[in-house]
Structures are given as C-alpha cells and as structure tokens.
Structure 1
Amino acid sequence: MSGQQSGGAAGASTVFQPLEGDDPTTVAGYRLAARLGAGGMGKVYLSYTPGGRPVAIKVIRPEFGEDAEFRRRFAQEVRSAQRVQGLFTAPVIDADAEGTRPWLATAYVPGPSLADAVVAHGALPVETVLLLVAGMAEALQVIHGAGLVHRDLKPSNVLLAADGPRVIDFGIAHAADATSLTGSGVTIGTPSFMAPEQAAGRRVTAATDVFALGQVAVYAATGVPAFGEGTSHGVLYRIVHEDPDLGAVPERLTSLVTRCLAKDPEARPSVAEVIRLCQEANAGTVLRRPEDWLPGAVSADITVRAATPAPAAAPEPAPAPAASATAAPGQGQTPTPPPTAPAGAPAGYAPTAPAGPPAGYSPTAPASVTPPPAGPQTGAPSAPTPPPHPGHAYAPTQGPAPAAYPGTGGYPTTPGFPAQHPHAPYPNAPHPQAAGPGGRPPAPRQGTAKRTLLVGLAAALVFGVGGAATVYVLTKDDDKKASASDNGKPGTQTGSGGVTGASSSPSSDGSGESGSAPSAKPSAKADPKPVTYENINLTRGYHLTFGDEVVRPQDGEDDGYDLSYDSGSYLEAESTGGTMVLLDPGQEGTLEVCRAETRFTQKVNVDKLAPGRQMCVTTGTGHMGLVTVKAFSPEGSPSTYMTLDLTVWRNGAV
C-alpha cells in the first residue's frame, strides 16, 4: 500500500502544487511542503522526515474515515504493507488508522507515473517495456508474498524512477472494498485495467494482478488500453466477453501479453513465469537495468521531481512585552527580545500543535465591542475589552501584547475565550457600563410596554383575518384536489437532481383546468435533467421506486413497484403501464434512445445480463430510467444481488 501520485509531466510548478485553503499544513507532526495530487481515496502531499528525507503522505477522504469497517481494514492493510520491502515498491514508513482522518506515509519517488509519461511522450521502446514489466513482476512477488493482492494495478500506480519502476497503492483498494461507500457512488478500481473476475464480482486472486500487468504492458507499448477506451460499462463488457486489441503490440511482446490477458485465471502465468517470459523476449539474456533505461525525455521529468521544495517555515513567535506597561517619567524602557526557536530542529518537521496564532485570530477587534472610556491612564493598563461571544477570536486593539506562554508562540493557552471583566458580578455578566444601577440591566424606556401591547393586538387581528381566508380557500379547493390522481404517488416529488412541482388536476383536453375552454398550444417541454445513482446493490426480493427522492432498494417484489429483482431471478417492471427494453451489447443508452425504443417487455432474465448491459425502464407514473449492470454478487456471498447504476429522468416519458 502506498499513497504517492505525481502530477503531470511538466515543470516543478505543475508537479508541486501549492497548498490550498482546505489543505492541512501539518499531519501528525509532518509539515507539508506541497500537494502532489489527488484521487478517489484522498489527497497526496510532500513532506519530510526529521532527518530530511522526502516522503509522500496520503490523507484519506473524510467519508472513508467515518466508516468503521474501512478503518479496520485500513489498519490491517497497513500492517501487511509494512512487511513489503521490495526493490520495486515504495515502502510504507508511517501511518495512523485511528486519527480523525486516516493517513499513511511512504518514501517519495522522484519520477513521473507511467500514465503521465505515456501521455506526455508517447509509447515506450520495447527494451524499456521489458524492464518495466520485469520490475513490476518482482514487485508483485513481494506483495503477494505478504498476503496482499494489489487489486488496482494501473499506469498511474506505477512510478518511473531512475533505477527502475515502483509499484504503489497496493492493498488500499481492498481496504475500501465492501464498505458502506462502495454502494453509494464511490468506485474502487479502474475499469480499463480490471480483470474479468473483478468486473463480474467474483473472487480476486494473485492472477487478477497478472491480468492487470498484461494490460499495463499493452498501454506502455502502444499508448492505448488493451480493451479500448470509452464508457466504463462498455469497457467492462469488452473485458469480460471480447478479445483485446493487440494489433499495435510489438512482436517481441505478443506472447507475453497474450498469456497474461487470458480470460481464465488458471491459464495466466505466475509472476515468476512473467519474468522468464521477459528474459525470453530479450533473446534469453539476463535483463540488466542500465542508468539510461528510460528515454531521455522521461529522464528529464525525473530531474524536475528530484528538486523537491522545502516546506514553509513555521511562523515566528510573537515578541514578549516590555517589563512594564508604563515607565516612570524620565526613565527609558528596554524591550525583551523575542524568544528564538530551539537550535537543531530538523528542517521541515514540526510538532502537531501549531506554533503560530490560533485559527481565526484577527488583528482588529469586532466592531460591536464597546471601547473603554477616554481619559488619562495611570497605573497598570486596563484589561482589553472582550469580544461579545466566547467563540470569537481574542484580539486586543490597544495596550501591550499578552505575556508569552512557553510553547504557544506568545499566545495564552486558551485562545479564543474572552477574559472576565474584573468588576463583573458573575461569569459572562455584561460590561458594567452597559448595566444599570447595582449591575442590573437598564430599565426599558417609559411607553415601550404600551406600544408593544398595541402592536401585538394589531398583529393578532391581521393574522385572524388572514387565517380565516386561508381556511376558506383550502376548503373551497378541497373537492378539486380530491379528483387529481397520480396512481397513488404524492403530488410533489423531489429528487437529488431537481424538483418537480405539484401536479394539477388534468382535464380531458389536457389543458390542466377542469371545465374550462382549451388553452393555446403550449410550447415544447424541455427535457428533464438526469439524476444518477451509482453502485446500487439490488438484492433479490427487493425493488426500486424511481420517484423516490433517494432511490434505494426496499423490501418487496410484487406491489406495483417501478423495478424489482424477482425471486425467480429476473428483473421486472411492476408498475401499471411500466415497460422495459434490453438494449443491444455496446448500444449507448440515452434519453432519446430510450424514448425511441419499442422492443417492450415486462421482465428480463438475469442470465441474459452481463456487466455493461443496459436496460430502459418506463414507469406507469411517467418516469424513465436507464439501468446499467455493473456486477453480480460473488460466490459465497450470503445474499444474491446485482450492482447497478441508475439514471432517472423524472416525468421524461413521452
């Protein structure tokens, strides 16, 4: 497991991106120097160890940190990954699965990813590809030996260093797999480099990584994926059912990639056999990795990434105040010099507590603070006026700075809380100047109570008249609303992608006004906006209702539902007037295609489905949906389900 991703093949300003407002400045004592990239699992930053070695720190997304199962698996994968100490992997050197946001740190590799190198400079020479594949195979040997399966081997997870490739992010997909997020819009794994068993939801083994290794080899040698590009469901369908396109693969690599891309996991070579095949493709000689194993343009990118920026220096503590706030006439004051940082502190390393002022500190006081009375100041200065609420920043506007506190950069140990006024009769009491005699709040002005009573009586009168009118209107329209019908559905439905208004009672002529003359011809209605729900695990015996604000599986299969997974192993359009159309393999489903299709049916057997197939569903309530099959429940699963993507156009049927 690793966490490193590099930026594009360009200058240092592109590789090392500056920290933004939502980026942390430190992670568990590591002071961050730049942002290296971001992915589906989190963001990656550059930092340094206390000894000055650069490291890559991946901070996991908050959504995953909130999932207890992810944290458990993440901790397990980190322990396994720390046993991986191969020459072609980036070792995990530190991690925390229990913190507010889980994170891990790996050795920083100064090189572009294979994906960046191919995009910037094109396909790699055959000799380079052979060394690349052999190095990746050695990395997989060590990873599999630690009891891990990579599960997400792809060009962006292979870094090109001066002395060979580095495989990163091994095991992290397993930590995220089967958490609550995988059924709510988060996809783990990259479709273009998945194995057939992954796409079908079957068991993942070391052979799964060998299939991905063959795909990476094709991409490195040709610049395009083995199963083409396009939509995810289209690529997955080709991976499961079609042969790869190897027409542009050099002849010396054909035998290697053909065996790796076998559909049957048992027919694929082991990683040790992959290394032997690389040697055979190299005329049977021992593979030797020269210093210039990469093309010159790619080697230049390594030089750019080797010049890592240093993190910003920690802010200096505020200077300590003078020995006395006031001096006797004729006597000068000697200010105390500010404290200095301890000698020998490692560059780029900082404790977890910030050394600068607290978050939210402002150099000016809030506008609502009452200034102290003017006049000569004698003796000790008065305490600064506190802000109006404990949550506001503590910001005095006059007088000397507060005394420095050790280890806090010159700020009190409880910043953000106002000091209690010395004359306040009780905690959080109002300032004495704002209180009446004896510390009580000032009495209201005469006449206020009388005016308040008159205003209240007038408001009550207006409300009573308005309320009576409202009741009359609602009662009058009650008979009209009773005649409206939406097949038992609510009149108003709200979806994540838009809101549909309450339906009025349609007349026989479609004008929307019962008993009135036909209105002018309406203008063409705009197509509704699509609302997409990804990775829905629809269990057998459950159904979906497209009009729900959040479409999710609910128990039941025979009660007028829009789409159900029947216990007889078929999908069925249950609602009155509902229909289904199974699109042809490779046919791209859109709103226009679904409206035009007329090959209607009420049910589709599951054995006719495969990952990537799509179905158009028209409901009896006028909604239209596009269902995309992604996977089926794996062997040994306690329940039978299929994973679907659903796009709904509410009121989109014509």
Structure 2
Amino acid sequence: MSRSEPLEVFEPLESSDLVRVGAYELVARLGAGGMGKVYLSHTPAGRPIAIKVIRPEFADDPEFRRRFRQEAAAAQRVHGLFTAPVIDSDTEGAEPWLATAFVPGPTLASAVARHGPLPLSTVLLLAAGMAEALQAIHAASIVHRDLKPSNVLLASDGPRVIDFGIARAADAMSLTDTGVTVGTPAYMSPEQAAGRGLGPAADVFALGQVVAYATTGTPAHGDGSSHAVLYRIVHEDPDLDAVPEALLPLLQRSLAKDPRDRPSPAEVVAMCRAASQDGTLRRSEDWLPHPIAGDLTRHHVTLAQPASGHPPTAPLSPPPAHQSPTVSAARLGATPPSPTPANPWPPQPPAQPASHPHANYPHGGAPGMTVPGGTVPAQRRRNKGVLVAAGVVGALLLAAGGCAALLNTVNHTAADKGAASGRDSSPAKHPKPASYPRVQLPDGYHLEFAGDPRQPKDSNYDDLYYICDFSGCYVGSYDTKLVLLNTTQHGSLNTCRTATRYTNRIGQKQLSRGSQICVRTAAGHIALLTYEGASADASPSRYVTFDAKVWRNAVNPN
C-alpha cells in the first residue's frame, strides 16, 4: 500500500553543517554517506542544485585529492541529455565539493522497491537512455565504475545517470585505512570483481544488471552476501528466467563474461529499438507508469532560504498539492527511506529480502561506498595504496568482514609518491634518459613514468592510458600533455620540451609504425614513445607496443 509520509527526506541543517560553500548558500541536507554530505542549494539565478561536500579525512589524502581534481575536470566535459551535468566544483579548498544539476524524480531503486518492476515499454526507454548517457560519459574518457539503480534518476522526460565524476578518486582510499569498499557487488562486472583492468565494457555489464533489476526486481545474479554474489558473477550464468523475451538478446550480450563480447552503448540503443513494437523509440511525457508519474508530483521541497544565514529550525515540508512542481528530493547522494511496494502493475511484486543489496549501501557517499559498522575513522594511516577490486574465490572466502573481494593493494615506489605529490626536485638541464624497448600497454591499463613503464598498471589512468571503446582505440591522459610529432620532427628531449601542440587523446588510427609521441607529465617527466604496432585481431587481448625513452625531472612540475 502507499506510504503517507514524503518519499524523500530533506533534513534541516544542523549546527555542525556548513551554511555556505563557495558562492552557494546551503538550504537543506539531502543525505550523508561514506564519502561526504550532500546539500540542496541554488545558483545565483535561483536554479536548484545538489552539492556534495567531501569528508575532511578524504580531502586530507593527497592521492585522493589529486584524483578528485582530475575526475571533477573530466566530469565537467560530460554533456549528455541523460546525465545530471556537473556544473561547478572546488578541488583545492579545505573542503572540496562538487555541484550537479538537481533533477526531478525518484531513483530507479526507490521506484522499483515502492511500485515493483517496470513494464517492457518503460524498460526499453530506460535502457536506451542509460546507454546514451554512457556514450557521453565514455566520450569524456570516464568509466563510471558504479552504475546501479540508486545512481539512475527517473525524471518526467527520461532517466538521468549520476555520480560519474568521482568513482576513480574513491579507489585511492585504502580499505584497511577507512573500512570503505568501492563498487556495489551486485552490479560489478566479472573483470571488476576479479581485480582486472576496467574499461567502458564494465559499464555495459552494469547496465545489463540494472535492466534486469528494473524488469524483475532483482539483479541477474541475485541477492545475498557480497561473497556469494561476486562468485556467481565470475563463475555462473545470469538468471534470466523472469526477463521478457524481447529483452533476452540485450541482456545475454550485455552480461557476457568476456568484455569483448558485450555490445557498445550505441549497439544497446539499436537493440532497444529492435525490441520495441514498431522498431522505434519515442519518449513521451507518460513514459513512466502512472504510479511513478504520480510520485513525481510529490517530490517537492520548500525552497525558502534560511533566515539570517542560520540553519532552519524545522524540517522542510512539501508545498501544498495545488502548487506547481519545483524540484525533486531524489538526488546525488540522497538516501531514500525504505519504501513499501504500492499499486504494482505486475500483481504483488516479489518482496525485497532483508539482504537486498541496497539495504547495506547508503546512497549518500561516493559510488558504492559504505562504512561497515559506522562512520569513517577520523584518524588513519597515510597509505598511498590504491584500492582495486580483487575477486578470485579464495580471496572472497579468506578475507574477514566487509567485501573481501575488493582488496588488492598496489604499492608505489618512493619515486611514484614524489611524482603523485608533485614534490620533485628542480629539473635537470641534461637528464640522462632511460630506455625501455617494446613496452606493451594493454587495453584498460596505464603507464607511470616515475617508475618502470614496462609494468603497466590498472589502478588508475595516469600517466598514459590505452582504452578501446565504441569510438575506437586511443591513448590519452587526464593531466599529461601529449604531442604527436609530425614526420619532419626529430624526437628528442629538446623537441619534447619545446613542442606545444598539446592534446590529451590520440587515436590509434592516427599512428603508424615509427610515429612518435612526446609525453610531458604533471610531475615533470618527459617520455618519447615510438609506436611499434598493435595486437593482431586474433590476439586474446588488445594492446599497443611502444619503444619508450624517459627523461625524469626534465621540466618543472605543473
């Protein structure tokens, strides 16, 4: 039956809350979680926005802050009709924050839990919208890493994918330091669960799980303990018995174990069109079932500013029913109350068990991050380890507590630490180069020139990454300057020091054997890469091969 209380909670500011960040006055608190607190605010022109303020203990970590700076900049390049755009940020202040557009509508998790699975026509529009969102996100060289029902908002004009700007920054925090886990097990891809490199195909797998949840009320590999779910994702086929036949081709391909067998987001859209009754997708204002559409009119908040800059003393309440809609409470990081199914279109949808995945993962923090047993400890070791998901069965069963499949620490050398923190010494006038012949860089991995580039890393995307997605294969970086030398230029330290035709992405189609790329890292290292070729079509993995020459501390750090 229907709940009488508001679907979403807007809490008044407390004495411990901030009242302003940057140019924005905070009106109410939307939620809190493992990574920070989320507040309601407005632009100077009155547009409602959501602001996520990062916890001080995260902000104090140099590696987290470095990645957060990169991710925030990349997220602001995402422009899609089905994303909640990042409109502003402060990555340098004592309390870094990220502001996004405030989108009207409940989360998919809240809607399905309250009303039951969605009809096929809605699911096809939902899947196509999420796929278009992933196209925009991937085009900005971002892998979402935590696409799940609580990160999809249902607005009157279509879905919105949120929380795509800080997932990689969350990887910087050590599980042993904070008790935080990264990723939501039920929506992880097999390669994420097994601790392998992540590419855009991991988001397509998550999309398939979200579509299964939307149409059946549960992910395709079921619910239960993290260990059991991750084991099924890595080793067992998805359970698609309850999925409508029209969706089977999409889910069978999207949930393939091998990332290379999954469709691109563009192919997902085409498959959704093919599965529709007339072969087209036409989104109208009534694309959502009536019970959910009715919920939209109840997702209002009072937008009155607190008097004299002080927190309000009473909870914010919805406006009277006769007032026009303003903004929704379902927001980046907002934590909805546990809803009760009401007016389901399939009679009596299956009740969510106590171990439902969303019961233990608050929506107020970073993507998929939870703090077992309480809040993040204020004091922790300053560990530069990088958290990646590790999912072999032995690791799943041996680690105690928490999500044991998520722990694999990559130790950095002292040189790596210096490069990450920007504390390199003054550049040498004539540094001696180090040569590394035939460095092979696999899809989804990156090179770090402060250390040994012959050992590609999969923990993040610095200093130079290689990715293949729906748009092709390319090398790139978030904060490294790249210059593709022309045939008249001789690759040398002096050439790479003086060349200024900077880019952050070079397509593999632009390269031929002997092509040279100057790489200038934020830490002040210079590398000259000579392209030697790429993997054959029959190869079990995609990779490119470079001869690398590295001059460390050759220029001033950025």
Q: TM-score, normalised by structure 2?
A: 0.57
Question: How much has 1:170 moved relative to structure 2?
Answer: 0.5
Q: Does 1:231 align with 2:15?
A: no
Matched with 1:209 is 203
Matched with 1:304 is 298
What is the CA deviation profile of residues 450-505 of structure 1, one whole-angstrom value per residue up to 9, with x for unaligned ones? xxxxxxxxxxxxxxxxxxxxxxxxxxxxxxxxxxxxxxxxxxxxxxxxxxxxxxxx
Matched with 1:613 is 397
Q: Compared with structure 1, are the counterparts of its residues 631 and 142 closer, same or farther at alpha carbon in structure 2 (3 Å cutoff)?
A: same
* Pairs within 5 Å for 1:467-486: none
More divergent stretch after superposition (72-81 vs 280-289): 280-289
What is the CA deviation profile of residues 387-442 of structure 1, one whole-angstrom value per residue up to 9, with x for unaligned ones? xxxxxxxxxxxxxxxxxxxxxxxxxxxxxxxxxxxxxxxxxxxxxxxxxxxxxxxx
Contact (CA 8 Å) 1:9, 1:112: kept in 2 or not?
no
Q: Aligned equivalents of 2:403 and 2:273: distance in 1?
A: 47
Q: Does 1:314 align with 2:98?
A: no
Matched with 1:199 is 193
* Pairs within 5 Å for 1:358-397: none
What is the CA deviation profile of residues 36-83 of structure 1, one whole-angstrom value per residue up to 9, with x for unaligned ones? 222332111111111111001111122211111111111111111111
Q: Percent identity, please.
A: 60
Instruction: Output the amino acid matched with 2:396.
Output: G
Matched with 2:61 is 67
Work out which of the residue numbers 114, 119, 122 in structure 2 matches 1:125.
119
User: Secondary structure in 1 aligned to 2:308?
Assistant: coil
Q: Compared with structure 1, are the counterparts of its residues 176 and 315 closer, same or farther at alpha carbon in structure 2 (3 Å cutoff)?
A: closer
Q: Does 1:269 align with 2:263?
A: yes
Q: Does 1:260 align with 2:254?
A: yes
Contact (CA 8 Å) 2:137, 2:144: kept in 1 or not?
yes
Q: Does 1:25 align with 2:19?
A: yes
Q: Does 1:97 align with 2:91?
A: yes
Q: Compared with structure 1, are the counterparts of its residues 137 and 308 closer, same or farther at alpha carbon in structure 2 (3 Å cutoff)?
A: farther
Contact (CA 8 Å) 1:614, 1:629: kept in 2 or not?
no
Question: How much has 1:612 moved relative to structure 2?
Answer: 2.2
Instruction: Output the amino acid matched with 2:109.
Output: A
Q: Does 1:149 align with 2:143?
A: yes
Work out which of the residue numbers 24, 47, 56 in structure 2 matches 1:53.
47
Contact (CA 8 Å) 1:34, 1:46: kept in 2 or not?
yes
Question: How much has 1:296 moved relative to structure 2?
Answer: 1.5
Work out which of the residue numbers 193, 203, 212 in structure 2 matches 1:218.
212
- Please, which runs of 5 or more residues in structure 2 have no aligned partner? 311-371, 375-379, 384-389, 411-444, 460-558
What is the CA deviation profile of residues 515-534 of structure 1, one whole-angstrom value per residue up to 9, with x for unaligned ones? xxxxxxxxxxxxxxxxx999
* Greater C-alpha radius of gyration: 1
More divergent stretch after superposition (181-190 vs 54-63): 181-190
* Pairs within 5 Å for 1:516-595: none
Q: Aligned equivalents of 2:131 and 2:149: distance in 1?
A: 14
Contact (CA 8 Å) 1:200, 1:631: kept in 2 or not?
no
Instruction: Output the amino acid matched with 1:612.
Output: L
Contact (CA 8 Å) 1:11, 1:304: kept in 2 or not?
no
Q: Compared with structure 1, are the counterparts of its residues 97 and 626 closer, same or farther at alpha carbon in structure 2 (3 Å cutoff)?
A: closer
Instruction: Output the amino acid matched with 1:99.
Output: G
With a CA cutoff of 8 Å and minimum separation of 6, indicate the structure with the bigger relative contact order: 2
Contact (CA 8 Å) 1:614, 1:626: kept in 2 or not?
no
Q: Does 1:173 align with 2:167?
A: yes
Question: How much has 1:301 moved relative to structure 2?
Answer: 2.1
Question: How much has 1:295 moved relative to structure 2?
Answer: 1.2
Q: Aligned equivalents of 1:113 and 1:130: distance in 2?
A: 17
Q: Does 1:162 align with 2:162?
A: no
User: Secondary structure in 1 aligned to 2:286?
Assistant: coil
Contact (CA 8 Å) 1:228, 1:235: kept in 2 or not?
yes
Contact (CA 8 Å) 2:177, 2:381: kept in 1 or not?
no
Pairwise CA RMSD of aligned residues? Answer: 3.4
The number of residues matched between the two structures is 345
Instruction: Output the amino acid matched with 1:291.
Output: E
Matched with 1:281 is 275
Q: Aligned equivalents of 1:265 and 1:140: distance in 2?
A: 15
